[in-house]
Amino acid sequence: MPVARKRPVPALRNHSPFRSHFSRVRSPRASAAHLLCGALLLLGTASCLDFDCHFADSSCEPVAALLLSQSAGLQSGLNAQSQLYVVDRSNDRIVRIDDMLGANWVEFGTSGGGINQFNTPEGVGVDVNGAIFISDSFSRRIVRVDDMIGSNWTEFGTSGAGINQFNVPVGVSLDSGGQVYVPDNGNGRIVRIDDMVGTNWTEHGTMGAGVNQFDSPEGITVDASGRIYVADQNNHRIVRMDDMSGTNWVSFGTLGGGVNQFNGPTEIALDAAGRIYISDSGNIRIVRIDDMVGTNWVDFGTIGTGVNQFGGVGEVTVTSSGQIYIPDQGNDRIVRIDDMTGTNWTEFGTTGAGVNQFNAPGRVFVHTFQTAAGF
């Protein structure tokens, strides 16, 4: 059983079963949003079920808006804007900034187990209404707030292995129907619920290394066809299945540091082409493959403190435009690159607990929204 305590993030290859994680939060948009996503489908630009198009952020929004505004004028008078939400893991807070310069820095949370407090938050996401979801891992709960001052704080989960209980929940992902998926790391299972009161609790997986088994599952995402991808951390593999019964279980990866190998993968993200990105945390690198047999394997990153180097990778995020965000946990910074060769490397943050500082950042969520032109 995992111990409910905070631990420093290892800078090298010593891998913890409870590294930071947050699977992206997705939520169905309003009817106009579905029209936008439908336009993408018709144009063959992307496959999507919701307005987030099942990427690691909601940045399908400006792409869809552009397509429709050019073809039908449906989005005239709107501007797309983005904000970055960062899990500042060991500072027990969530940070929001407008860009990679730290503009309009806002933080929320203090250390503890009460309201407006976190004990090693592992991830963050934002839904269509602007509600913020946080996985508060060592408080064994999921939290939802309306804004960055904690309005309408709602929490779900207690410590345990039964229904409505978690043992280090390390992420939250919403599918197009609003169902919530949680990797229940310490219980070796993934959980799906309909809402923040646990309606229709469904779980899949037992502790182990075989089919329908997990050992410290971390990352989770759902693709356009509803297939579920899981980073099976301590089995050093990624898994794809069709549903919460494990139908058509496929796994990929073995332990190691070479091609087709992982050392404690903690996250999965998908891009517009359906390519799979993996945070290979123990190998301090990001990996991209085309499919679940490892076609066109590409990896990026080495150990270090400079450009194209990481001290410890957090949960990878890929936007619809192809930009890649990586929390560099060991170097207490977040990084953005344009591609898997590190083009236009941009970093932000230094070590500390103040403004423009992080302590083991674990997740970056890119929230894109629309405002009226001129605002």
In tens, the pLDDT along 118-150 reads 999 998 888 878 889 899 999 999 999 999 999
What's the first-to-final CA gap in the chain, in angstroms? 51
Query: What pLDDT shows up at residue 227?
Result: 94
**Res 45 pLDDT > 60:** no
Pairing verdict, β 357-358 and 350-351:
parallel
Amino acid at 192: R
Higher pLDDT, 371 or 295: 295
pLDDT, tens digit, 9 for 90 and up, residues 64-85: 444 444 444 444 466 778 899 9
Q: Is 169 within 8 Å of 142 (Cβ atoms)?
A: yes
What are the φ/ψ torsions at residue 206 (nearest 5 degrees)? -130, 165
**Res 48 pLDDT > 70:** no
- The 3-state DSSP class for residue 331 equals helix
**166 closest CA partner among 125, 208, 201, 210:** 201
Query: What pLDDT shows up at residue 179?
Result: 82
Confidence of residue 172 (pLDDT cuts 50, 70, 90): confident
**Res 222 pLDDT > 60:** yes
- 318, β-bridge pairs: 324
**117 contacts: CB under 8 Å, gap ≥ 6:** 92, 109, 110, 111, 139
**177 contacts: CB under 8 Å, gap ≥ 6:** 28
Query: What secondary structure does DSSP assign to 197-229, as a single string?
Result: T-TT-EEE-EESSSTTEESSEEEEEE-TT--EE
Higher pLDDT, 68 or 365: 365
Q: Is 315 within 8 Å of 266 (Cβ atoms)?
A: yes
Angstrom distances, CA of residue 291 to CA of 72, 260, 296:
35, 12, 9
Percent above pLDDT 70 for the chain: 78
- 159, β-bridge pairs: 166
Torsion of CA 314, 208, 203, 250, to 10 degrees: 70
Query: What pLDDT shows up at residue 52?
Result: 38
Report the 10 Å Cβ neighbour count for 344.
9
Q: Is 118 within 8 Å of 92 (Cβ atoms)?
A: yes
Amino acid at 39: A
**Res 63 pLDDT > 80:** no
Average pLDDT, the chain: 83
Confidence of residue 374 (pLDDT cuts 50, 70, 90): low
Query: Would you state the structure tokens that stand for residue 29, as one six-digit string?
Result: 């948009």
This prediction's pTM: 0.81
**364 closest CA partner among 69, 55, 63, 130:** 55
What does the alpha-carbon distance between residue 109 and residue 222 come to, in Å, rounded to a whole number?
Answer: 29
Query: What pLDDT shows up at residue 11?
Result: 37
